[in-house]
Amino acid sequence: MASKGLTPPGSANELQSRRSPWLLILAFCAGIFVCWIVLSLVAVKSLPSGLWTALTHRSQQIDVSQPSVVNRIQQLERLETVVYSMDKVVTGKRENSILPDFLAGDRLLLLVHGEVIAGIDFSALPSSAVRIDGKSVRLKLPAAQVLTTRLDNDKTRVYSRETGLLVPTDPDLESEVRREAEHQLRSAALLDGILETAQKNARSTVTSLLQGMGFEKVEFE
């Protein structure tokens, strides 16, 4: 006997019919939630600009305690504030007390290009050098100093060399002239006031740093 096509309890069609109302309810709730978010954003954006700025403003907090200020300044380390450049002709020679130069002399002209860098070394700044009073800070800067003096080897060259007929070329003469050139370069920079300019520029740099930390008044001793 052929069996009739009966649908067993719990079949796929029955389960689908049970889930449909809940799916519709969830979809409806999700739609309402999305609409609420969109309307909220539109309402907030339509607020006056001043109120919107007040609501979204983020305050900045910077530690302006004495240890923090000292540490920030120390991080400047060797602050280079002035670069002094110069071109110069430096002469060096060897002479004989008896024979003339064309026989026993050695003369060198060096065309020098070099620079002197000055600034302040903040790496060892003591805590006692910084005094803080509310929004005011008073600082005792270390003295400016020449940090480096160097010749530009690419632009420094021997302009002329004259060696006597009876003597060999002195291999040490050029090195001595280079050392003398560095000395003259340093002396010229000092005479031109490089240290005073370095101190002034350092004050400007530190003032900008401290004002950026929130101080309204910056003084130097």
pLDDT in tens, the chain (221 residues): 444 444 445 454 554 555 566 666 766 677 776 666 655 655 655 545 554 455 455 544 444 577 788 888 888 888 999 999 989 888 888 888 888 877 877 888 889 899 999 999 998 889 889 998 888 999 999 999 999 999 998 898 888 888 878 878 888 888 899 999 999 999 999 999 999 999 999 999 999 999 988 888 999 98
Reading the block at residue 49, the tokens are 């600009």
**pLDDT value of position 58:** 52
**pLDDT value of position 53:** 59
Cβ(169)–Cβ(163) under 8 Å?
yes
Q: Which residues contact 159 (CB under 8 A, 6 or more apart)?
A: 89, 109, 110, 111
Reading the block at residue 3, the tokens are 């069996």
Reading the block at residue 76, the tokens are 């400047």
Reading the block at residue 105, the tokens are 């002399």
**pLDDT value of position 207:** 93
Strand-pairing partners, residue 162, are 107
Q: Kindly report the pTM of this predicted structure.
A: 0.64
Which SS3 state, helix, strand or coil, does residue 35 take? Answer: helix
On the 0-12 / 13-18 / 19+ scale of CB atoms within 10 A, 204 is exposed
**pLDDT value of position 140:** 92
**pLDDT value of position 5:** 46
How many residues in total does the chain contain?
221
Taking the CA of residue 69 as centre, how many other CA atoms within 13 Å lie in the half-sphere pointing to its CB? 29
**pLDDT value of position 108:** 83
* Number of neighbours of residue 24 by Cβ within 10 angstroms: 10
**pLDDT value of position 193:** 94
